[in-house]
Structure 1
Amino acid sequence: MLTGECICALQSGERGTIKPKANFDADQDAAALKKAIEGLGTNEKIVIEILTTRSSAQRQLICKAYEKATSRTLVKDLKGDTSGDFEELLVALITPPAEYDCHEVMRAMKVTFLNEFCLEHHLSYLTSPETKKQLTAALESEVSGDYSKALLLLALGKRDESTTVDVNKAREDAKALYNAGEKKWGTDEAKFIEILCKKSIPHLRQTLIEYKNISGKTLQQSIEGEMSGDLENLLVAVVKCVKSVPGYFAELLHESMKGGGTDESTLNRIMVSRSEIDLLDIRAEFKKLYEHSLLSAIQVRNWIFNF
């Protein structure tokens, strides 16, 4: 579970693989896309070259220039000339980030609310007020109980944003978590939600250390042993991101590509949404965790399923 405002605190472009193109000309790119799309077949090479080497803000300017030149929207033309996972990826690239976040969250809830890879991934860093409003209303109508409380806290951005760490307070919270779980019969889920969904990330990093000293187990191990289902998955995701945001996304990418098929939606979503934020760090973590590059993993999957 990532929180853009509260967990990663990264600004667009700091560790991304896509940077704004120098000497950018939206009208020129729009004209090139028009030529690539019109006629018999689509020049996919040109479309890919343009849309994957411009920043999100530049892509929005291209969309406006394209509509001005053709009286059609670029998204409609791309949907008409492409299909499947390729279409989904292109549409994601030209959709404004806040709108894309909202669309993906709502889609996850309609398809299956238990799709943690989609719903929880997006809940964590929504910044648009209108997106939060829509999401909050949807959550309140769809879920209940502790899982709902945790999701709403994350969606509404209730996390403390301070950067200072008081070791004694972190130790107190570690003891509170231990007393709410490992030390008692039954589990006080509310205490876990209160601390993990509201305390600052630097504070939680220290709390994880103190918890291991007190319990002899990691907090993730305790959550996995004390809870189950959606709430367990959500709080484990929070803990993973407290430890390493790039590591969390590297794991999601690996999960999306392992086994008998590829979860293209998760793969596309993470690659697009993190491309201007921290994809360089995600790539490094992927290589460290799985001893091969993210690029090679994607290439292998494409080779297997196109063979």
Structure 2
Amino acid sequence: MLTGECICALQSGERGTIKPKANFNAEQDAAALKKALEGLGTNEKIVIEILTTRSSAQRQLICKAYEKATSRTLVKDLKGDTSGNFEDLLVALVTPPAEYDCHEVMRAMKGAGTKDKVLIEIFASRSNQQIKDLSDIYFKETKKQLTAALESEVSGDYSKALLLLALGKRDESTTVDVNKAREDAKTLYNAGEKKWGTDESKFIEILCKKSIPHLRQTVIEYKNISGKTLQQSIEGEMSGDLENLLVAVVKCVKSVPGYFAELLHESMKGAGTDESTLNRIMVSRSEIDLLDIRAEFKKLYKHSLFNTSSDFEV
């Protein structure tokens, strides 16, 4: 269980790999980027050095200073001077976190079919405030409610669960009543393992609305009652996107860093790398808990996230 000290550390960004730079000067950084991007060829070393060693808030100040100095946006110049996955990574770095999450959700809903893996990753792992912030950006850019847009893209019980998460109204209480957690564990057991067929609504209601500390205790109580983990029961009772979403929620309840370590492993194994997932996790978690993700990755896969082998290219 997260202690108060750990929660404060996460909120203050102490578990991130990127910290605000001391003696920061936005105008100097903007001038250096201008020089690196102008002329024949791009000085990629300078661009990387600046954008990966400043906090997101500092990068926004650089963007303002850059536009003031050049009458152009840094995003536009980065897109003009770079390409492919490198361009995507740099653009992600200079995009405010809520805007970046919003654009990832928009891309996931764009065109034929929905990239449900992206929607599941974002809505299962983000806090209420992060979800509200991305929803506000979505409305500002599209004049539409995010939940209405999602409702037109997904259906069934998966839609019900995703929309509950997208409201950003999960209970935020930090106190845990063990008896209530045990009651919810029994409700889940009776709705799944104990009956013929599954009452998905009970799983959705509890897993998508109750507080994270409460659910952490519920997971423990469930194992005591059923002899199985809650994840095992969900995987045995459900299928498709609903199963994937609820399993992601349970994994995040147990350990958000552990969840992202698994996703990074998945993105890099086998032939080719899922660069979009790799970029999204590394950028979005760089000031939150990437140190913990690195530690979980090492614990789960016995080698460093930095290592390169025949199976991994980080």
Smaller-chain TM-score range? 0.7 to 0.9
Name structure 2 gaps, 5 residues minimum. Answer: 111-133
Distance 1:304-1:232 versus aligned 2 partners, 3 A rule: closer
| Offset of residue 5 of structure 1 | 17
| Offset of residue 8 of structure 1 | 10
For the Cα contact (< 8 Å) 1:17–1:280, is it kept in 2?
yes
Q: Mean Cα displacement is larger for which, 134-143 or 185-194?
A: 134-143
Aligned with 1:304: secondary structure? coil
For the Cα contact (< 8 Å) 2:269–2:312, is it kept in 1?
no
| Offset of residue 192 of structure 1 | 0.1
| Offset of residue 202 of structure 1 | 1.0
| Offset of residue 191 of structure 1 | 0.2
Structure number with greater CO (CA < 8 Å, separation at least 6) is: 1
Tell me the TM-score normalized by structure 1.
0.87
For the Cα contact (< 8 Å) 1:150–1:193, is it kept in 2?
yes
Tell me the TM-score normalized by structure 2.
0.85
Distance 1:303-1:3 versus aligned 2 partners, 3 A rule: farther
Q: Mean Cα displacement is larger for which, 128-137 or 225-234?
A: 128-137
Q: For residues 199-220 of structure 1, what are the alpha-carbon distances to aligned partners after superposition, in whole Å with 9 as ceiling and x for unaligned?
A: 1111111111111111111000
Structure 2 equivalent of residue 98 of structure 1:
98
Residues in 2 aligned to 1:9 and 1:149: alpha-carbon distance in whole angstroms? 33
Name structure 1 gaps, 5 residues minimum. Answer: 111-122, 297-301
Residues in 2 aligned to 1:109 and 1:211: alpha-carbon distance in whole angstroms? 35
Choose from 254, 268, 272 the match for 2:279. Answer: 268
| Cα-Cα RMSD | 3.5
Distance 1:92-1:228 versus aligned 2 partners, 3 A rule: same
Distance 1:198-1:135 versus aligned 2 partners, 3 A rule: same
Q: Mean Cα displacement is larger for which, 197-206 or 131-140?
A: 131-140
| Offset of residue 144 of structure 1 | 2.0
Aligned with 2:306: secondary structure? helix
For the Cα contact (< 8 Å) 2:264–2:277, is it kept in 1?
yes
Aligned residue-pair number: 290
Residues in 2 aligned to 1:291 and 1:12: alpha-carbon distance in whole angstroms? 29
Residues in 2 aligned to 1:45 and 1:28: alpha-carbon distance in whole angstroms? 16
| Offset of residue 6 of structure 1 | 14
Distance 1:69-1:105 versus aligned 2 partners, 3 A rule: same
Residues in 2 aligned to 1:93 and 1:245: alpha-carbon distance in whole angstroms? 21
Residues in 2 aligned to 1:73 and 1:4: alpha-carbon distance in whole angstroms? 41
For the Cα contact (< 8 Å) 2:223–2:229, is it kept in 1?
yes
Distance 1:5-1:263 versus aligned 2 partners, 3 A rule: farther
| Offset of residue 10 of structure 1 | 3.1
Residues in 2 aligned to 1:101 and 1:254: alpha-carbon distance in whole angstroms? 21
Distance 1:182-1:7 versus aligned 2 partners, 3 A rule: farther
Q: How does 1:196-211 map to 2 (within 5 A)?
A: 196-211=207-222
Distance 1:141-1:306 versus aligned 2 partners, 3 A rule: closer
Distance 1:2-1:230 versus aligned 2 partners, 3 A rule: farther
Structure 1 equivalent of residue 161 of structure 2:
150
